[in-house]
Every structure is written in structure tokens, then in C-alpha cells.
Amino acid sequence: MATLLDALDAAVNHHMAGHTDEAARLYRLVLSVEPAQPGALHLLGVLQAQAGNSPAAVRGIARALRVRPESAQARAHLGGAQHSAGRPEEAEATLRRALALDPGLGDALDALGATLHGLARYPEARRWLHRAAAARPGHPQTLVNLGTVLRDQRRFAEAEACFDAVLARHPGHADAHLARAVGRLVQGDLAAGWEGFEHRWRRFATPPWAGEPLEGRRILLHVEQGYGDAIQFVRYAPLVAQAGGRVMVETDRALFRLFQSLGPPVQVLERGPEPPPHDLHCPLMSLPRAFGTRLETIPNGVPYLVVDEGDRQRWQARLAGVTDEDGGLRVGLVWAGNPRHRNDRNRSIPPALLRPLLAVEGVRFFSLQTGDARGALPALPGQDVADLTDGVRDFADTAAILAHLDLLVTVDTAMVHLAGALGVPAWLLLPHAPDWRWLLDRADSPWYPTLRLFRQPRPGDWATATATVAAVLRAAVQRRAGRSRG
């Protein structure tokens, strides 16, 4: 027994010192001897949560609680892991139980506030995070979480005070820099926002480019986050070539053919295990900073990506008789994003709430929905919505489909960036607290001239937003009919 406890103590010491591999080895050693040892189960779960493996953390900490159900700390950590795993309702119940056991437990107060924030219950989230901040003054993650809620409530000065308090003690705290940068960007302060935004990415061994003269050097522009981000910021690649760089864009296979439409000055490469030889590098999302982009200088000429003519003709043949059945307005529809996106619960729309939109007469809707949400297509309320995604290999195919539609109505996914880059008219449905790039309160976007924004007036209020889109769409159909009669 003493040897087992010694091993557990050693694991904890390694864990606290940041020696995660050795800590994990020792936790597993303890569990190989005593599979139900609650401390090892709990702390190995914490280690897995810290490594980003939330599902494994949930399983392990839940096992620990079956052995030791009275542990408020383990319940707090389980709730935090459930929140990170995208199970907020379970997390809320778990964390409230932890706080019933220990009302002042900082981890539980903080995790409950973060969970309620993810559910767009901002006033409740703020109250719990204020309690967490009082329970553990100066705790950096609690202050970042509180500041983020305040930011999404548009209490920007209070939010900045939280982030500044963290950075005063921890100048390199990346989450605080990023949270503050997002607040600056969403308010349109791009100059300050781009600087803080630099804390988001991992640098290569080669020097990063920040806008200095290129003089013919090879520069690697690389994708770092989602498809939509890549589509939005690849617009800068030809500008880098014009500035004197020999430009390579390294991207995923799904974007490879689409990005080839950037033209000869840009070499497009499919991402491999190692980057190609280059002199300088720059993530695509750092290019606005390198060019000193402000709202009034955003390079928004469209289209900056174009449909391959072969793809256009191939899809025209495939869609013949589908998109031109009745002469109505042809509208593409996307109602959900990637469920693994941290904010997907707030940006995706439950299909039942599309009823007002799908009831508009004179419109033929076509689904461009991909992923798991595609399975909800048969249950969409109202008209039969044709699925156009069969046979789609990549974004170049999707671009060719968009070329045959009159309009795209979508939530905040890569599809809106694709339509915007092609110059296809698109209407974007946004949550009350939008992603930074859509700014605040405006119905247009300086990034995409053919885009129109429809926003929730209150957190979670998709009903009003979809009803507004339906009314505007109905008016567009009437104007179209009037022109036809004239």
C-alpha cells in the first residue's frame, strides 16, 4: 500500500511540475494495480482534460466519482470536462451538484460560469464568474472567462479591465491577449486587434513575415485554422506576390483546386508532413496585420476566387432539371456548422425554426448542408428541399453549384466565405454575440460586398432572425415577379 501511495504522490508531483508523460505513466501504473483507485482515476482524467482529450477525461473522472461520490473537486473537474466535450446540459447539472457539496469551490464556480456562457445565458454566467473571481482573486483563467462574457454582453471597458489585470501579472498569457484582441476586432479597431491576434499561432523555424520588403524571397503562406478562415484571408496571396514575394500557399486537399484559381503568381501546394523549402512564412490570418489593414482598406474586390469552367459545365449538366424546375428564386440553404466548433451551439439553427423561411412562396430551396446535420434534411418543415451535395468532392465543386443559384442563406460556416469570395449573393444569419469578423450592428460586411447580415436581436432568438429573413425574401420574390411582368 505504501508503495502504491508513493507512486500516486510521485505522479501528482510530476503532474504539478508539468512532466505530463511521467505523471500519466505513474497514474496508469497505480491503476494497473488498483483499477478503482479514485485519486488516480480523477487526476489522470484531469491530465487528459488538460491535454484536450475531454471524452477520456469524462470517462475517467466519472469512474472516480462512482468510487468517491462525495468529492466536490472531482465533480467540478467532471463538469469542466463535460463542458469542453460539448455536453453543456450535463456539465451544468454536474457543476450545480459540486457546488451543493462545496458552495465556495472556485473550479466549480468558474466552470459553471463558462458553461452558461456557452449556452448564451450571459447574465447568469456573469454572476457565477463574479463569484468565482471573489473565491480566487486574480486567477487568470477566471478573469479571462469573466472578461469574455462581459465582452459578449458588449461591456467592453469592463472586459478589457479583466484582460488587462491578467496581462499585468502574466504578460505572455495567450488566452488573455486573444480575448482582448477579439474585443478590439469586433468593435472595428483592427490596428490593435491584429497585434493581439498574433498570440494564436505556432511559428515555424523560418522567420515570420510582418510586411517588410520581400525582394524575391520565397514566402510560404499557410492555413492554420478552419476552411472559412482560409477562404477569407487567401485574398491577400496575390497582394504578397505583387509586393515582390515568390508565393506558395500550402492548404488542405479540400481547398486545393479552389485556390488554384488564384492564378499563376501564386503556387498552391497540398499540405504535407513537412513544409516546402522557403525563406519566410506567414499564416493566412496574419496577412491583414502585415498589410496594416483597417476597415477602410480591406481588399474586398470580388470575385477573388473563380469557378473552373469544366466544373461549371459538369455541374450544369448534373443540375439540369433540378434547379430550373419552376422558374422560382433558387436559394441554397445551410443551417448548421461543424458540431466540433466551440461555438456551434450558438451559430447553428434548429431545423424546426426554418419554417417561416421555407414557407415563402416563389422560392425553390436547395440544401448545401454537409456533416451530421445533413441527416435532418427529410425533417425540414415545409417544402421538399433538394439535396445538392451528392458527388461533391471539395470546395471547387461547391463553388460550381453556387454559380447556378441566385442566393445563399446560411449560418456562420465556411460556405458564407465561399459565396463571398465568389461574389455570389449571400445572406448570413448571426447569433447575438457574433464572431469578430462580422463586427457589430451593421447589415453589411466590409469583407464581402455581396453579403447581407441578419442578426439575433437577443441571445438565442433565432425566431425573430429567421422571420426577418423570410420577410425580406418574400419582398425579393415580389420584386422579381414585378420585373418579370414589366
- For residue 436, give Cα distances in angstroms to 152, 184, 342, 459: 10, 8, 14, 16
Judge contact between 402 and 332, C-beta under 8 A.
yes
Note whether 352 and 447 are same-domain residues: yes
Tell me the CATH number at 191.
Answer: 1.25.40.10
pLDDT at 192: 94
Q: Are strands 329-334 and 407-411 parallel, antiparallel or unpaired?
A: parallel
pLDDT per position as a tens digit, 125-154 = 999 999 999 999 999 999 999 999 999 999
- Could you say which DSSP state residue 91 is in? H
Does residue 76 lie within any of the structural domains? no
| Strand ranges for 276-353 from DSSP E | 280-283, 329-334
pLDDT at 383: 75
Does residue 97 lie within any of the structural domains? no
Note whether 390 and 473 are same-domain residues: yes
What's the grid cell of residue 121? 445565458
- Distance from C-alpha of 77 to C-alpha of 447, rounded to nearest angstrom: 41
pLDDT at 91: 97
Q: What is the CA radius of gyration of the chain?
A: 25
How many structural domains are present in the chain?
3
- Distance from C-alpha of 384 to C-alpha of 395, rounded to nearest angstrom: 25
20 pLDDT band (50/70/90 cuts)?
very high
Note whether 148 and 252 are same-domain residues: no
Does residue 42 lie within any of the structural domains? no
Of 297, 328, 344, the position where a domain reaches its end is 297
Of 243, 262, 297, the position where a domain reaches its end is 297
Note whether 164 and 195 are same-domain residues: yes
pLDDT at 486: 57
Does residue 78 lie within any of the structural domains? no
Note whether 161 and 194 are same-domain residues: yes
Q: Is the peptide bond before 303 cis (omega within 30 degrees of 0)?
A: yes
User: For the chain, how many helices (H) and strands (E)?
Assistant: 22, 10
Note whether 282 and 364 are same-domain residues: no
- pLDDT higher than threshold 60 for residue 2: no
Does residue 385 lie within any of the structural domains? yes
Note whether 243 and 370 are same-domain residues: no
Note whether 277 and 314 are same-domain residues: no
Of 246, 262, 297, the position where a domain reaches its end is 297
Note whether 336 and 256 are same-domain residues: no
pLDDT per position as a tens digit, 269-317 = 999 888 999 999 999 999 999 999 999 999 999 999 999 999 999 999 8
Give, for 453, the enclosing helix (H) or strand (E): strand 451-455
- pLDDT higher than threshold 70 for residue 195: yes
- pLDDT higher than threshold 90 for residue 236: yes
Tell me the CATH number at 390.
Answer: 3.40.50.2000
- Distance from C-alpha of 282 to C-alpha of 297, rounded to nearest angstrom: 20
- pLDDT higher than threshold 70 for residue 444: yes
326 pLDDT band (50/70/90 cuts)?
low
How far separated are the first and last CA of the chain, in Å rounded?
A: 91
Spatial neighbors of 368 by CB under 8 A, at least 6 apart, are 332, 333, 334, 388, 389, 398, 401, 402, 408, 410, 415
Average pLDDT, the chain: 93
Where is average pLDDT lowest: 7-16, 168-177, 197-206, 441-450?
197-206
- For residue 148, give Cα distances in angstroms to 67, 104, 257, 415, 433: 36, 22, 38, 27, 11
Does residue 316 lie within any of the structural domains? yes
Note whether 382 and 241 are same-domain residues: no
State which residues form the domain around 246.
Answer: 218-297
- pLDDT higher than threshold 60 for residue 175: yes
What's the grid cell of residue 144? 479571462
- Distance from C-alpha of 8 to C-alpha of 29, rounded to nearest angstrom: 9
Where is average pLDDT lowest: 24-33, 106-115, 150-159, 379-388?
379-388
380 pLDDT band (50/70/90 cuts)?
confident
Note whether 194 and 168 are same-domain residues: yes
Does residue 437 lie within any of the structural domains? yes
Note whether 470 and 328 are same-domain residues: yes
Does residue 361 lie within any of the structural domains? yes
